[in-house]
C-alpha cells in the first residue's frame, strides 16, 4: 500500500470554480436586496439602517482584524452564562490541537459549549426563537450543533452534541469546522449574510417605528408606500437575497466536507481514506434531521432556502472527493469498487444535514 506524507495530502481549500460561484452569489444577493429595499424605503430609512448595520458589522469585523478587540470579545463570552469553554481534557480539544498542527497554525482555536438560548439566537429568526423552549425541539436540535466562526477563530458546540458522537465522527466534524476557519473569514457570502441580517433588523425596526408614528398622526418619510408595503418589500427582498446567497454558502459546506475528508487523516493512506469516508457518512446519518420541515430537503424547491446541501448531494460530492484522494494516493486503486463495497454495508439514508 502506498502512502504520502501529511504535507503532500491533496487539500484543496478553494478552487477557481468554487470562488466564482461564491462571489457571484454574494454579488447577486447584494444587488437583489438593495434593489428590493430601495423600491419601498426612502433614502432616510436606508441611511439609518445602513448606519446601524455599519456599527454592528463593523464591530464584528474589527474583532476579526484586531487581536485586542477579539480578546475582549472572548473575555465577555467567558463572563456570560451562555458560553462555557470546553474542558481541556475533552476529546474535541485534542482533535482541534492536532488538526491545527497539520494546518501549520501556531495556536489552536478555542472551543465553547453553548446553551439552547444561544443556539436559538444563532440559528433562528427573532420571531421563531421561542421554538427552542419546546423540549422536543431542544432534544432534536441540541445534539446536532457544531459551528465555526471564521475571523473570530472559534468553534461552538453543545454538550449534547459531544455526547452523541464517537471519536471517528467527532474527528471528521472537527476537520469540517477547521476547513471553515481556514478559508472563510472575510469571504463575500459571509459578509453579505451578516450585513443583510443587520440591515433587515434595522429596516424592520423602522417599519415598527414608522407605523406607530403614522397611527399617532405623525408623518415621517421612511417609506414609499406605507408601512405594510415596506414590510412586504423587506420580507421579499430578504428571502430572495437569502436564496441566492445560500448558493454560495452551500458551496462552502460541500468544500468543508471535502477538506474534512482530507484533513481527518494523520497520514494519507488508502486505509485512512476509507475510514475517513465512513466516518463522514456516519456523521450525516447520525445527524439526519427528522424534523417536519426537513423531511424532503433533497428536493430543489426546499433546498434553495437552506444553507446546507441535502444529504443526497453531500454524499455524491463526498464520493467524488474520495475518488480524488484515492487516485492521488494509489493510481492503481479503483475508487468505484471501494465505494460499491461500502455502499453494500453502509447504505446512506438521504434526507439530512448538520449544522456548521
Per-residue pLDDT, 345: 62
88 within domain boundaries = yes
Full domain range(s) for residue 293: 3-345
Average pLDDT over residues 173-181: 89
Domain count, the chain: 1
Per-residue pLDDT, 186: 53
Average pLDDT over residues 327-333: 83
350 within domain boundaries = no
Average pLDDT over residues 13-23: 83
Per-residue pLDDT, 13: 74
Quickly state the pLDDT bin for 234 (edges 50, 70, 90).
very high
For residues 211 and 45, the answer to whether their CB atoms sit within 8 Å is no
130 within domain boundaries = yes
What digits encode the pLDDT tens for the residues 92-113?
999 999 989 888 888 899 999 9
355 within domain boundaries = no
* 14/203 Cα distance (integer angstroms): 35
Per-residue pLDDT, 51: 94
Residues of the chain with pLDDT > 90, as a percent, come to 22
295 within domain boundaries = yes
353 within domain boundaries = no
124 within domain boundaries = yes
Per-residue pLDDT, 10: 58
219 within domain boundaries = yes
* 29/249 Cα distance (integer angstroms): 12
Whether residue 38 has pLDDT greater than 90: yes
Predicted TM-score (pTM) of the model is: 0.82
Which secondary-structure segment (H or E) carries 36?
A: helix 16-38
Per-residue pLDDT, 136: 83
> If you count them, how many residues does the chain have?
356
Whether residue 61 has pLDDT greater than 50: yes
Whether residue 350 has pLDDT greater than 50: no
What digits encode the pLDDT tens for the residues 71-94?
787 778 777 778 888 999 999 999
Which secondary-structure segment (H or E) carries 135?
A: helix 135-141
Longest dimension (CA), the chain: 80
Per-residue pLDDT, 302: 61
* 119/141 Cα distance (integer angstroms): 9
Amino acid at each position: 500500500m502506498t502512502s504520502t506524507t501529511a504535507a503532500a495530502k491533496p487539500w484543496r481549500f478553494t478552487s477557481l470554480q468554487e470562488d466564482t460561484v461564491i462571489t457571484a452569489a454574494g454579488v447577486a444577493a447584494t444587488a437583489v436586496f438593495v434593489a428590493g429595499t430601495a423600491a419601498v424605503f426612502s433614502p432616510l430609512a436606508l441611511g439609518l439602517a445602513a448606519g446601524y448595520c455599519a456599527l454592528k458589522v463593523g464591530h464584528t469585523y474589527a474583532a476579526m482584524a484586531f487581536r485586542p478587540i477579539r480578546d475582549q470579545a472572548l473575555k465577555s463570552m467567558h463572563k456570560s452564562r451562555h458560553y462555557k469553554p470546553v474542558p481541556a481534557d475533552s476529546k474535541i480539544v485534542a482533535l482541534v490541537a492536532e488538526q491545527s498542527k497539520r494546518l501549520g497554525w501556531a495556536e489552536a482555536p478555542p472551543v465553547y459549549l453553548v446553551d439552547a438560548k444561544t443556539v436559538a439566537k444563532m440559528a433562528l429568526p427573532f420571531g421563531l426563537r421561542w421554538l427552542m423552549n419546546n423540549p422536543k425541539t431542544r432534544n432534536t436540535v441540541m445534539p446536532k450543533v457544531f459551528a465555526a466562526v471564521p475571523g473570530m477563530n472559534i468553534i461552538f458546540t453543545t454538550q449534547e452534541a459531544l455526547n452523541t458522537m464517537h471519536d471517528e465522527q467527532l474527528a471528521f466534524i472537527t476537520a469540517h469546522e477547521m476547513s471553515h476557519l481556514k478559508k472563510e473569514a472575510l469571504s463575500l457570502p459571509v459578509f453579505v449574510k451578516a450585513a443583510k441580517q443587520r440591515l433587515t433588523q434595522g429596516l424592520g425596526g423602522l417599519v415598527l417605528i414608522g407605523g406607530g408614528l403614522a397611527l399617532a398622526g405623525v408623518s415621517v418619510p421612511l417609506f414609499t408606500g406605507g408601512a405594510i408595503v415596506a414590510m412586504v418589500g423587506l420580507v421579499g427582498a430578504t428571502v430572495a437575497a437569502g436564496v441566492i446567497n445560500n448558493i454560495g454558502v452551500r458551496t462552502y459546506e460541500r468544500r468543508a466536507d471535502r477538506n474534512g475528508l482530507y484533513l481527518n487523516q494523520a497520514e494519507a493512506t488508502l486505509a485512512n481514506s476509507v475510514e475517513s469516508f465512513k466516518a463522514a457518512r456516519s456523521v450525516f446519518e447520525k445527524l439526519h434531521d427528522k424534523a417536519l420541515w426537513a423531511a424532503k430537503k433533497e428536493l430543489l424547491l426546499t433546498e434553495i432556502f437552506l444553507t446546507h446541501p441535502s444529504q443526497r448531494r453531500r454524499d455524491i460530492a463526498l464520493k467524488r472527493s474520495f475518488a480524488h484522494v484515492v487516485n492521488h494516493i494509489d493510481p492503481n486503486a479503483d475508487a468505484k469498487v471501494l465505494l460499491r463495497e461500502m455502499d453494500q454495508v453502509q447504505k446512506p439514508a438521504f434526507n439530512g444535514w448538520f449544522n456548521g
